[in-house]
Chain A
Amino acid sequence: MPKTPLDQMKYILATDVGSTTTKARFFKKTKEGWRYVISGEAPTTVEKPYEDVTLGVRNAVREVEELTGHKLLAPGGKGIIMPSRSNEGVDLYVTTSSAGGGLQMMVAGLIRSMTAESAERAALGAGAIVMDVIAIDDGREIYQKIQRIRHLRPDMVLLAGGTDGGNIKDVVEMAEILKAAQPKPRFGVSYKLPVVYAGNKDARRHIKELLDGIFALTIVDNIRPTLEEENTEPARRSIHELFMEHVMAHAPGYDKLMKWTDVPIMPTPAGEGMMMQLIAKVFNCNVLGVGLGGATTNIYSIYDGKFVRSVSANLGMSYSICNVMKEAGIENIMRWLPFEKSEDDIRNRLRNKMIRPTTIPQTLEELMIEHAVAREAIRLGFEHHKTLARPLRGAKRRKGALWEGAEISDVFALEEIYGTYIKMMNVKIIAGTGGLLSHAPRRVQSMLVLTDGFRPEGVTRMFQDSVFMMPHLGVLSTVHPKAAWEIFDRDCLVRLGTLIAPKGTGKPGERVLDLRIEMPDGTILKESINFGEMKRIELPEGVEAEALLEPRGHFDLGEGPGKKVETKVYGGVVGIIIDARGRPLNLPQDDKERRRKLLEWFEALDAYPREFLDKIREEWT
């Protein structure tokens, strides 16, 4: 813990050791409270010839030093100067890390949609990337499971299975498979692979006999003590502790970095998740969030108080950009482009971004291509998320919906249909973070990317991270919640505005919505919008207005088809966007028509420079 009392702190330094870049953020206490001062960034140094993360940290911090003139680095590479004195040092240094691929876990349980899914949620919630989920019913033969486990080199294994007091045979069998496969840890063979057992408590003795000694075994409370109950917290805590003790301690340079920091190093997504939860807490509503990174896309939902995080390990904007192309299909990326380009050209461009991931778009064409990929990465990440954000499988209340004498397999079959509990109409805030969103030259571009990726319905506020510091503030909030919130509120959270998107589809030109907005100064704004159109209304940040929204016909804004909605709308750097393209959102099938509509929408929202849009139009008309 820090030596300086919280109320006497003057300067704080936070870093995030990312997979590509190490990002330093420097904070200062001013008269009006804690504020963000400046950033420094440098390539992360986890591999040869550097192999020491503290080198990257020092380079990033040195940039902060250069930009501010405030000395931070202790001489001789001995960490950060602490505590602060006039123009040197800080009073608190914290860091997150996802370098070297973050925390990579393998998860095992019994039934894929029950204990294995609970275990997956626990691992993801702890900030891990789940490499594979092994379950009795995963469709693989025992030898195939063993082959797969042997091939993986996880940082940690989470083994769950069975309810307390239930049959122990199945979970012991799963442990046998693990023992037989003997997976090796990723960072060398010199230490034992950590295994967390969070299954049926009656099987603990057998699990111990089987696995202790071969693995570094930790036993925690059952993740699924009964079918109706999911208890991920003990497993999550244990994963965090082991992450520090085993994984981080073996990553290059982390032993040094751990000594520099005041609090334990946290996995980047765990920090990000904390801030998403904070948004839900402060605004007291359902929130969806995305961390759109270079290697991964993390989706967060806080829905009816339940927090779920998913990581799509291979969907991202740099290293993983071609995996987005692979998963989404090139045609789904190209559908967001208003200009004509050959498939070969787009493919080659994305491949070239993959092999040179730190390059940035210099032309508007290139920028639009990246925005197109971002929409698909979020869409796919959210699809993945929905498979985890769903009711507990196997719980009794579900059986009630079935016929008498129904088998457990019937429960599964029916629940496949049930799907996620997330209803877009009930999501009131969407928040985004990550390089692409933070670097978007116009904020309306990120609002549009978030809209097209998530497809919100009804009235939704939209936020984004200003310069990527949610992970930093997440770890900071564990020691200094007041500072974290003040910086978050004033300098991190950009209020983009409010999106109004009626649910339903119609014909082009069909009236979708009439709205009346009363501004704080009493002026009244009236607008109508037809199907297939988008509109943007300026409403500055910090301004709230009363809106009367009257959807026509079967269009719905949350109160039912054709029912009016009276609500507050919140301004932002973008303002209000009315999206009457319909939900579900279907782009025109005809290529020319689709491109024409995209140009029309971009123009209506002032999303890209007008001259450029005109040039595109001239080229193909």
Chain B
Amino acid sequence: MKVSQSSYAYTPGLKIKRVTIVRKERKLPIPGEVLVKKGDKVSFDTVVARTYVPGDPYILKVARELGIEPEDLPFYMLKKKGDRVKKGEVVARYRALFGMINRECISPTDGVIEDVSSTTGRIIVRGDPKPVEIKAYVSGKIVEVMPKEGVVVETRGAFVQGIFGVGGETNGEIKVLVDSPSDVLEADMIDEDCRGKILIGGSLVTKDALNKAIEFGARGIVVGGIKDTDLMEVVGYEIGVAITGHEEIGLTLIITEGFGKMAMSRKAFEIFKEFEGYRAAMNGATQIRAGVIRPEVVIPHEKKISESELPELEEGIRPGTLVRIIREPYFGQIGRVVSLPIELQVIETESKVRVAEVELEGGKRVVVPRANLEIIEE
């Protein structure tokens, strides 16, 4: 039996690029109207598509309110199925004893009578449709229109993926608050100048700094790590399943490395420094399932950079590949793969696994399960 040199079961690295082409699909939840056309230039907040989602339904227990049998309901309805009604309008009435008994049922909303049931004695009033708008999210060009569904926006720019985030789409100017990727982002670094901006920290953001950034109206924070307990306090609850993006904490937070104090990858930090002052889009939405959705920062720019684009699908780990170790005992350390032994090897836990020999920055050589390596794109 033989084993191939490259490993299929690798963890794809997070994308960190100074320049790349980013395409974003912007789709409506249900069919509607696309407001831009192919070739149009759009900005971050340009509305590109709009639709109306059905309004909230209200179930009215009309028969019970009028004190009648369900099967008699149609006789007492003043409106029929499909009719428009206004909020406060009488939709059914029961009168008896020459008007001495007068019971009415009124509509709680503007809308349409959707259903009248003589089985249950209830009616459904559907509220007026609500508009839903989709914005471009990033500045760029419309390269594709999907009729009634949405568009694809294309932009050229820097692209940094994080490992975990909270909060949804936003945009703002990049502002770097620390000198090095290993510095902690503290509360005293935040002031009025942070309003509307995306703040870049180093290895950790403290709870106080996070709260102060929210207070001063920062749009987002990108940082290496955060303590789980601090995140829990700011979000207000303990996140159970890693499906995020809908939190409303006042800003969007992205951590690039993991939980605890962890220096931001140098490459990401340098990109943020290079593009300080540029307007960027960010989204904290994370979904850790097959395929995964990772949080991201997109910084559209037109700088001439000769960096060649890497193919979309990586080739796997090979000798020479730059990697980050993503599990104890070398968590967060960066090194270069020296060899990929073909045979399974016994590690401290006594498990027999596929390993890689990695030379850490500083020269020390360690053996690490391949599953605990993440490729760093160069």
Residues of A within 8 A of B (CB): 18-21, 41-50, 59, 62-63, 66-68, 99-101, 142-143, 146, 168-169, 172-173, 176-177, 179-182, 184, 189, 206, 210, 295, 314, 319-320, 322-323, 325-327, 343-345, 347-349, 351-352, 354-367, 439, 441-442, 609
In angstroms, how far is the closest chain B Cβ from the Cβ of A19?
5
- B240: chain A residues within 8 A (beta carbon): 314, 320, 322-323, 326-327
In angstroms, how far is the closest chain B Cβ from the Cβ of A295?
7
Query: In the bound complex, do residue B59 and residue A180 qualify as a contact, i.e. CB atoms below 8 Å apart?
Result: yes
User: Interface code B114-141, partner A: CB below 8 Å = 1, 0 otherwise?
Assistant: 1101011010101000000000000000
- A18: chain B residues within 8 A (beta carbon): 290
Shortest Cβ distance from A343 into B: residue = B229
Q: Size band of the B side of the interface?
A: 35 or more
**A49, A62, A347: which contacts B228 (Cβ < 8 A)?**
A347
Query: In the bound complex, do residue A609 and residue B228 qualify as a contact, i.e. CB atoms below 8 Å apart?
Result: no
The CA-CA distance from A67 to B342 in the complex, in Å, is 12
Query: In the bound complex, do residue A319 and residue B327 qualify as a contact, i.e. CB atoms below 8 Å apart?
Result: no
The verdict on A172 contacting B289 (CB below 8 Å), with A323-B240, A362-B328 known, is no
- B4: chain A residues within 8 A (beta carbon): 66
Shortest Cβ distance from B329 into A: residue = A363
Query: In the bound complex, do residue B124 and residue A176 qualify as a contact, i.e. CB atoms below 8 Å apart?
Result: yes
The verdict on A182 contacting B54 (CB below 8 Å), with A49-B313, A360-B371 known, is yes
Q: Does B369 contact A (CB under 8 A)?
A: yes
Query: In the bound complex, do residue B119 and residue A168 qualify as a contact, i.e. CB atoms below 8 Å apart?
Result: yes
Query: In the bound complex, do residue A322 and residue B117 qualify as a contact, i.e. CB atoms below 8 Å apart?
Result: no
**Segment among B42-50, B272-280, B298-306, B346-354 that sits at the interface with chain A:** B346-354
In angstroms, how far is the closest chain A Cβ from the Cβ of B164?
5
Query: In the bound complex, do residue B120 and residue A169 qualify as a contact, i.e. CB atoms below 8 Å apart?
Result: yes
Q: Does B8 contact A (CB under 8 A)?
A: yes
Smallest CB-CB A-B distances: 7 pairs:
A47-B291, A323-B240, A180-B57, A441-B350, A351-B259, A348-B260, A348-B259
Query: In the bound complex, do residue A320 and residue B31 qualify as a contact, i.e. CB atoms below 8 Å apart?
Result: no
| Chain B contacts with A in 243-271, Cβ cutoff 8 A | 258-260
Query: In the bound complex, do residue B372 and residue A322 qualify as a contact, i.e. CB atoms below 8 Å apart?
Result: no
Shortest Cβ distance from A59 into B: residue = B8
In angstroms, how far is the closest chain A Cβ from the Cβ of B71?
11
- B191: chain A residues within 8 A (beta carbon): none
The CA-CA distance from A101 to B30 in the complex, in Å, is 22
The CA-CA distance from A216 to B292 in the complex, in Å, is 30
| Chain B contacts with A in 343-366, Cβ cutoff 8 A | 347-351, 353
The CA-CA distance from A180 to B114 in the complex, in Å, is 8
**A21, A101, A364: which contacts B348 (Cβ < 8 A)?**
A364
Q: Does B3 contact A (CB under 8 A)?
A: yes
**A48, A358, A365: which contacts B291 (Cβ < 8 A)?**
A48
Q: Does B242 contact A (CB under 8 A)?
A: yes
In angstroms, how far is the closest chain A Cβ from the Cβ of B91?
16
The CA-CA distance from A422 to B349 in the complex, in Å, is 36
Extra inter-chain contacts (6) besides given A67-B3, A441-B350, CB under 8 Å: A176-B59, A347-B227, A352-B259, A356-B327, A360-B353, A364-B349
Shortest Cβ distance from B10 into A: residue = A43
Q: Does B56 contact A (CB under 8 A)?
A: yes
- A59: chain B residues within 8 A (beta carbon): 8
Q: Does B70 contact A (CB under 8 A)?
A: yes
Query: In the bound complex, do residue A99 and residue B290 qualify as a contact, i.e. CB atoms below 8 Å apart?
Result: yes
User: Interface code B140-157, partner A: CB below 8 Å = 1, 0 otherwise?
Assistant: 000000000000000000
The verdict on A355 contacting B164 (CB below 8 Å), with A143-B58, A347-B229 known, is yes
- A322: chain B residues within 8 A (beta carbon): 238-242
Query: In the bound complex, do residue A356 and residue B163 qualify as a contact, i.e. CB atoms below 8 Å apart?
Result: yes
In angstroms, how far is the closest chain A Cβ from the Cβ of B283?
15
The CA-CA distance from A177 to B313 in the complex, in Å, is 46
